[in-house]
Structure 1
């Protein structure tokens, strides 16, 4: 087996503070217990070109109307798929699909929360987002009120 001599690097790209509504219980399904968490809004900030040394602000708001589909699996782990839009200060609307796997410690605290982030941007200054791979982390900032999503470009 042969690997490329250049290993991937993770470059911080943006942080999103996402305001969420209370969790809605949608009952058991064939793959586990289902929940929906409406996304109310929020804000994000980061670097538009994390691969360069030049500062380039990348900031704006999380638009209300998104949602987070959650499934509590029979093994106790949780899968999330959040679908929402970010709008930059310049008015560019960016669709985000964030698939998260969460594992809990024996005491019920969050032990592991990592994600694969797909980004869909229109042609223009944010088009480069369509040609990169992103991963992320999820952290509860305010229980039942806000989560912090950190995204990293895989370079």
Structure 2
């Protein structure tokens, strides 16, 4: 009999608060309705402590139903000075009125929409290599000028 694959579990790992710049609406491209939201800074706390660096962004494609495909790339510097590259891929979906409210910066209860991503980390810091060897899933909250999420390591 073949061995049974392990059942994954989730372990809280770190929290991120990303401050965002103004939305850049690129309109309809060959990929679809493209938007870019710059990362202006922020924090990472928990098993990793540090600051998000300005210069990253979330490249989005808005689907026909208004749902958003998330593809974020941004960097962080730990309190010890080590650099991390963070890649976040996911989706934000919900009722059209809820998605429209979020687009206009209105406060919406996170239970009213679905906003989840899968996160991977890249680093040259040997102390942080364990973070490269894992996949993280997040549960996110969109605010007027920020995104907050908790990242859970998938065991």
TM bucket by the smaller chain? 0.7 to 0.9
Task: Determine the structure 1 residue equivalent to 2:34.
Answer: 34
1:25 Cα offset (Å): 0.6
Matched residue, 1:18? 18
Q: CA deviation at 1:74?
A: 1.4
How much does 1:115 deviate? 0.8
Deviation string, structure 1 residues 113-139 (Cα, Å, up to 9, x no partner): 111111101141101111111111221
Relative to the length of structure 2, the TM-score reads 0.84
Q: Deviations over 1:77-134 (max 9, x none)?
A: 1101110011110011010010121111253255111111111011411011111111
Conserved? CA contact 1:31–1:73, under 8 Å: no
Q: Provide closer, same or farther for how the CA distance between residues 38 and 129 of structure 1 changes in structure 2, counting only shifts above 3 A.
A: same
Unaligned runs of 5+ in 1: 48-57
Match of 2:116 in 1: 114
Indicate if the aligned counterparts of 1:67 and 1:82 stay in contact, CA closer than 8 A.
Answer: yes
Q: Distance in 1 between matches of 2:96 and 2:23?
A: 22
Matches within 5 A, 1:3-152: 4=4, 6-47=6-47, 58-109=48-99, 111-140=113-142, 142-143=143-144, 145-152=145-152
Identify, as 1 or 2, the structure richer in helix.
2
Aligned length: 142
Instruction: Show the counterpart of 1:51.
Output: none
SS across alignment from 1:108: helix
2:147 match: secondary structure: strand
Moved over 3 A (4+): none
Distance 2:18 2:96 in 1: 27
